[in-house]
């Protein structure tokens, strides 16, 4: 069974930075990709950033140039470095992984993912 646990959320002022981490544990899990998603108040869950096992990355337009996704395979840990935070980045952030291969076009779709963490809250004040 795959377990994902996020950490690193908190409160920050606009323009600040936060780094999220997601530790994967459980059975031997070698996903095709891992991703970060978020759900703001009254909004649907949306894809933020994804990284494939070979290091390719994909970002939502709203975070390009500000957020960076990375992974440490030795530690089974996924990261999201968030810079130049804005109030609209306020959301619960989740990491997720799929049960198998996913096509490139679907990587930012929450429906493509099978395993989810509990989430970590990020609040950005103006």
Q: Are 25 and 98 in contact (CB under 8 A)?
A: no
Per-residue pLDDT at 25: 87
Per-residue pLDDT at 112: 96
Per-residue pLDDT at 51: 97
Strand 33-39 versus strand 120-125 pairing type? unpaired
Query: Distance between CA 126 and CA 123 in Å, rounded?
Result: 10
Mean pLDDT in each 10-residue stretch from start to end of the chain (126 residues)?
95 98 86 96 97 96 98 93 98 96 94 97 97
Per-residue pLDDT at 9: 97
Per-residue pLDDT at 82: 98
Q: How many CA atoms, within 13 angstroms, populate the side-chain half-sphere of residue 20?
A: 33
């Amino acid at each position: 069974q795959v377990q994902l646990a996020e950490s690193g959320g908190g409160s920050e002022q606009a323009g600040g930075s936060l780094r999220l981490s997601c530790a994967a544990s459980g059975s031997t899990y070698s996903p095709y990709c891992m991703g970060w998603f978020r759900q703001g108040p009254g909004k649907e869950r949306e894809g933020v950033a994804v990284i494939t096992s070979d290091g390719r990355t994909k970002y939502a337009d709203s975070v390009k140039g500000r957020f960076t996704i990375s992974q440490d395979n030795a530690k089974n840990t996924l990261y999201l470095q968030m810079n130049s935070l804005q109030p609209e980045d306020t959301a619960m952030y989740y990491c997720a992984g799929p049960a198998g291969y996913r096509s490139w076009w679907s990587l930012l779709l929450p429906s493509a993912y099978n395993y989810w963490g509990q989430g970590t809250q990020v609040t950005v004040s103006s």
